[in-house]
Structure 1
Amino acid sequence: MAEEEADLLCTERYSAHRNRRYFQLHDGQLLQRSERGMEATQSVADVFTSVFLPQGYPDSVSGDYLSYQTWDTVQAFASSITGTLATQAILKGVGVGDNTATVTAASITWILKDGTGMVGRILFAWSKGSTLDCDAKKWRMFADVLNDVAIFMEIVAPAFPPAFTLIVCVSGVFKSIVGVAGGATRAALTMHQARRNNMADVSAKDGSQETLVNLAGLLVSLILTPLVAANITLTFVLYTLFTLLHLYANFRAVRAVVMDTLNQSRLRLMVTDFFRRGRVPPPRSINPREPILAEFQRRLTIRLGASLNSVLSSTYEYRRATENNRKNYLLGVNQNTDVVSISLREGAESIDLIEACIHAEIFHHLLHQDVSSFMVERATFIDLQEKVKSARDERLWDAVAATHLLVDQLFPRLLTEARAAGWVTERNHLGADEWRAQWSPQGKKSQ
């Protein structure tokens, strides 16, 4: 029966590729289904998709999912190969194949290696755990570089028998840091990719992909291991080639991620574009420019959620900070140390944190940038920069008061354009500390 001869009752779809249309004959006796799409019939590709990709792909994940996972697969394969080279070197170093080696000595070396790694894991999580969410890309790249360094140390360790245990212990610490940083940032990226509250499914399928890649790496390693067993030159050649592939693939994977929440780096780029071009760029424009390696250029340090005693040191400064200030933060500047400290009011929300950081970024431009090319409030910025340069007070309280007025004027427009451009403002990764304060504006009595 031709579809055009029947009445269309309803349609349905399964994800983006599978579509069904339901028809009824004119005599009302027959319901007919027409199925279309690449996945109308089961195939090997269908099975592969259901096993290794999240349910509902691509609608259930972020738009950068495929490009990120592709490069992540390449880097995992390269890391699997170099990891095999390192394992072979470690086994040789602890005495496998050496008749003079003892089980006790090998066991002690392995215990020390694992023990120092555990201590390193705890210390790193304590010192850096709260920053991993904020700069997931940067920490992901850091973890992969450190992993390659650790593998190199394990490969060369057998060449230095007196220091073998020390080298593998340091390598164990590095790998434990890699485990913490890599695992935490992977969770942050998975949360970004999961668009239907399906983080568990995305994470599980990511694990399946990694397992498949590691299996492929093991099969290749079975071929390579006999070739490199007694050939140190080939070992280093393979390590160099696969390490370069590993780092390149990681760089491409991190660059493929398009985060729509604001951290300090993305906010700085967004605000700079707004000041210089008069518009807020979308996330896909900002993310490729986000730094993922250590920055060495001079920049202002922003301490968000700082204690009051880092913002204020006297009742005079308290009066200056709260004068005509109805915002949910107090901002203090120290020109000598290049630090902006921001104390947050109890109950401050994500919008307040974003506004406070934009206020701090204004001081970054006033202190270290050329504002004459700005398209937004150029005359005001030039006047403020002159005021900052001529100020004798290192805390710049006159400039702080003047910039409050500038923020009041600019922030509503900037916030509206940011939301329209696709930025999420209901949550952020600005790295606020936990201090919260209560204060009353000057001239008001505390309740």
Structure 2
Amino acid sequence: MERDKGAVLATERYGSSESWKYVLKDGVMERRRNGGDGHPVGTSVVGVFKSVFLPQGYPESVSGDYLQYQFWDTLQAFSSSLSGTLATQASLRGVGVGNQEATVAAATVTWLLKDGTGMLGRILFAWQKGTKLDSEAKKWRLFADILNDIAMFVEILAPYFPAFFTLIVCTAGIFKSIVGVAGGATRAALTVHQARRDNMADISAKDGSQETLVNLAGLLVSLILIPLVTDNPVLTLCLFFLFTVLHLFANYKAVRSVVMETFNEARLSIVLQQYLKDKRILSPPEANQKEPVLFEFGQTVPIKLGVRLQEIVQSPEDLHMALKENSMSYLLGVRNGCVCVCLGPEASVSDEIRAMCQAVLLSNMLNSSNSKEAASAALKQQSYWEMVHESHKLMDTIFSPLFKGAEAAGWDMKRTLIDWDEWRVEWKTKSS
């Protein structure tokens, strides 16, 4: 009890892990740790582990979903490492390792062709899909891991088709190059989400340390597996499928655990649909739980954002119809079965959100017309403009409470992840 006496002059803490106080006792200032005399977190084994593998300031410096995501991400990386070992062994056997009849030149040519096609695939994929990797990070993250498993499965089968070995490994190389682009880019997008103190570099570096530790563990396990699976294709395939199932399950749980507070097309559509249904605003965790993480094809009328003016209007009459009952800095129209949105240069983030909401409403109206094909064939352009005008009136009624409600529910309304193209159009109204 004697130790607790004295006036407290100051207190300090290191994140949320430990706190100290400075006490004046007998004219001397002493520094004491709150909560007992245990080892400080920074010097204990657990403390050292945290400082090596977790970002500084954890958990305050990262998003709330960080630990859950990293757990599943670590598990998927471990299983992927083991699957990769089996695929690498198959590739080496296919190029002639252990075969006295194989030549170094033939193996080298095969490897160069594999790398070359992979480089081309990387460039083409980044060109075609680079802008989608931010707005649909979850989908592309899961897609990358599924494609990676397919590539490794193809590599394992390649040695059993020697006549087509080069073609097969080149195809696998293209798949893996796409995986590299999609996986790396979506990892960067998720790091932006997790960083809460502008500490992206620290989070990325610690993620690399975690992955290195996992790969080291995978390497040790692989040293045990390789003697067992050599010249045993049945066991190789069985283990590969086991690791693949674990890998895909962990990846699914990982992307499902991510809770993003910014709107993309899917999350905004989910919140809007719920609001139209019962006037309730979904919170970020609720909307993220409903967000699809697999690609869906042909279920809704497609929406094109940031298009050229000619994709909406073909004549002065069309422009007049597009401006009718519309005072916003965007234009909407329906062309070739697609909802198109033309954005003005002065459009704000709020305008972008409103334009996306209205495009979703218009898409729903078209979907309700039996089917997309029937609507495209039967409805005349005049009917389309009537739908556009109706959507303007509905947005005038619901957007303000929707926007304020989303802000109150925890959504970040200062920026979005909506995938707009770069076209910006200035148009003239009658008054001007």
TM-score normalised by length of structure 2: 0.94
* 1:437 alignment counterpart: 425
> Which of the numbers 28, 31, 35 marks the counterpart of 2:29?
31
Q: Is the 8 A contact 2:263 2:418 kept in 1?
A: yes
Aligned: 1:400 with 2:391: no
CA separation in 2, counterparts of 1:297 and 1:102? 49
Displacement of 1:4 in angstroms is 5.9
Q: Is the 8 A contact 2:11 2:22 kept in 1?
A: yes
CA separation in 2, counterparts of 1:348 and 1:325? 14
Displacement of 1:405 in angstroms is 2.3
Letter in 2 for 1:265: A
* 2:224 alignment counterpart: 223
CA separation in 2, counterparts of 1:103 and 1:75? 35
Q: Is the 8 A contact 2:303 2:363 kept in 1?
A: no
Q: How does 1:11-160 map to 2 (within 5 A)?
A: 11-25=11-25, 29-36=27-34, 40-41=40-41, 42-160=43-161
Q: How does 1:19-418 map to 2 (within 5 A)?
A: 19-25=19-25, 29-36=27-34, 40-41=40-41, 42-296=43-297, 298-334=299-335, 337-368=336-367, 392-393=380-381, 396-418=384-406
What is the CA deviation profile of residues 290-344 of structure 1, one whole-angstrom value per residue up to 9, with x for unaligned ones? 111121452021111111001111101111111342211011124xx43110000
* 2:372 alignment counterpart: none
CA separation in 2, counterparts of 1:111 and 1:436? 44
Aligned: 1:427 with 2:415: yes
SS across alignment from 1:306: coil
Tell me the number of residue pairs that the alignment of Structure 1 and Structure 2 aligns: 422
Displacement of 1:391 in angstroms is 6.5
What is the CA deviation profile of residues 90-145 of structure 1, one whole-angstrom value per residue up to 9, with x for unaligned ones? 11011111111100000000000000000000110111111111100000011000
Q: Is the 8 A contact 1:322 1:440 kept in 2?
A: no
Change (3 A) 1:161 1:404: same
CA separation in 2, counterparts of 1:105 and 1:403? 64
Letter in 2 for 1:403: S
Flag structure 2 segments of 5+ consecutive residues without an equivalent. Answer: 370-375
CA separation in 1, counterparts of 2:273 and 2:303? 16
CA separation in 2, counterparts of 1:419 and 1:151? 44
Displacement of 1:6 in angstroms is 2.5
Flag structure 1 segments of 5+ consecutive residues without an equivalent. Answer: 371-387
Letter in 2 for 1:240: F
Change (3 A) 1:149 1:292: same
CA separation in 1, counterparts of 2:383 and 2:146? 40
CA separation in 2, counterparts of 1:102 and 1:394? 70
Q: Is the 8 A contact 2:18 2:40 kept in 1?
A: yes
Q: Is the 8 A contact 1:3 1:23 kept in 2?
A: no
Displacement of 1:23 in angstroms is 2.6
CA separation in 2, counterparts of 1:394 and 1:174? 46
Greater shift in the superposed pair: 316-325 or 181-190: 316-325
Displacement of 1:369 in angstroms is 5.2
Displacement of 1:279 in angstroms is 1.7
CA separation in 2, counterparts of 1:172 and 1:204? 27
Q: Is the 8 A contact 1:39 1:46 kept in 2?
A: no
CA separation in 1, counterparts of 2:242 and 2:105? 36
The CA RMSD measured in Å over matched residues stands at 1.8
Q: Is the 8 A contact 2:76 2:247 kept in 1?
A: yes
